[in-house]
Structure 1
Amino acid sequence: MHSLTLTTDNRAEIAASLAGPRWSVACLCAQWCGTCGTYRHTFEELAARHPDMQFVWIDIEDQADVVGDLDIDNFPTLLIQHDDNVAFFGTVLPDGSLAHRMITAQQALSADELAAQALSSDERRNWQRDCNLRTLLAEPG
């Protein structure tokens, strides 16, 4: 399995690939960012380690209509989501082992634990409202 790169031409295809009960991991980066360029290979390795998940690479400038008002402070920024539940949204160190552990820890949670976690803080409640990748892709571009 490899990651998909969101483009204007494949938006509907990627939205469809996220449907149903599945995990998705999106990396929000920028083409001009050297760290992102280096992290791209790491992200592909993560996708290979987690073939049951959908990995999506999103250039925040090329896809500004999708990422809209998301607060992206630094790169790389990961969005980890199960169904419509955003489990994580934030900047991570460009370390594949760290991202792998974070993904694995989220996957180990039950649906009830994920739901409780989603409501556990203002920040996480905001993620549910603002960062749902399915919703962002469904909105007209």
Structure 2
Amino acid sequence: MKTTPLPDLLVICLCAEWCGTCREYRAGFEALAAQRPDAGFYWIDVEDEAEWITDLDVENFPTLLIQRGDRVMFFGTMLPQHAILQRTLETLTALTDAEAQAYVSANEERARWQSERNVRSALATHMAADRV
């Protein structure tokens, strides 16, 4: 099965349909996606997609995963205010490659994200399987 190429910048909201905060957050998330055609914004319900997303251990909502290439730049909960996500994206995408590499290896938690939270290939495979 051929995987689908994904944009360099991935912005993934891990949520649950039963979560009222997630439902309220979604419209703004999609509006921000419309402003950033260079990025891939993905809304993933952790219960519906549990078979391939289970290793991420999502405990609170909304949980965001921001990945630039193969670098996981952010993983965690974020206040459900779209301006915070927008500023975070602006900051993380403004980093040079050298700065991004220094950022992701600056502490143990971020260094662990690189092996434990990198979902690029799993997402591409999952999307390709959905198209079959």
TM-score by length of 2: 0.87
Residue 55 of structure 1 aligns with which residue?
41
1:106 aligned onto 2:92: yes
1:40 aligned onto 2:26: yes
Counting helix residues as a fraction of each chain, which structure ranks higher? Answer: 2
Distance 1:27 1:88 in 2: 11
**AA of the residue aligned to 2:10:** S
1:48-96 CA-partner distances (Å, limit 9, x unpaired): 1211111011000011122112121210011111111000001001101
* C-alpha contact (below 8 Å) 1:118/1:124 kept by paired residues: yes
Residue 108 of structure 2 aligns with which residue?
122
Residue 136 of structure 1 aligns with which residue?
122
Distance 1:122 1:53 in 2: 27
Share of identical aligned residues, percent? 46
**AA of the residue aligned to 2:40:** Q
C-alpha displacement at 1:28, in angstroms? 0.2
Please identify runs of 4+ aligned residues in structure 1 that moved more than 2 A. Answer: 135-141
* C-alpha contact (below 8 Å) 1:17/1:54 kept by paired residues: no
SS at 2:56's partner residue?
Answer: coil
* 1:93 maps to which of 79, 82, 99: 79
Distance 1:17 1:47 in 2: 18
Structure 1 gaps, min length 5: 1-11
Number of aligned positions between the proteins: 127
Structure 2 gaps, min length 5: none
Instruction: Let me know the Cα RMSD of the aligned residues.
Output: 2.0
Residue 16 of structure 1 aligns with which residue?
4
The 3 A distance-change label for structure 1 pair 138 and 52 is closer
C-alpha displacement at 1:120, in angstroms? 1.0
1:27 aligned onto 2:13: yes
TM-score by length of 1: 0.82
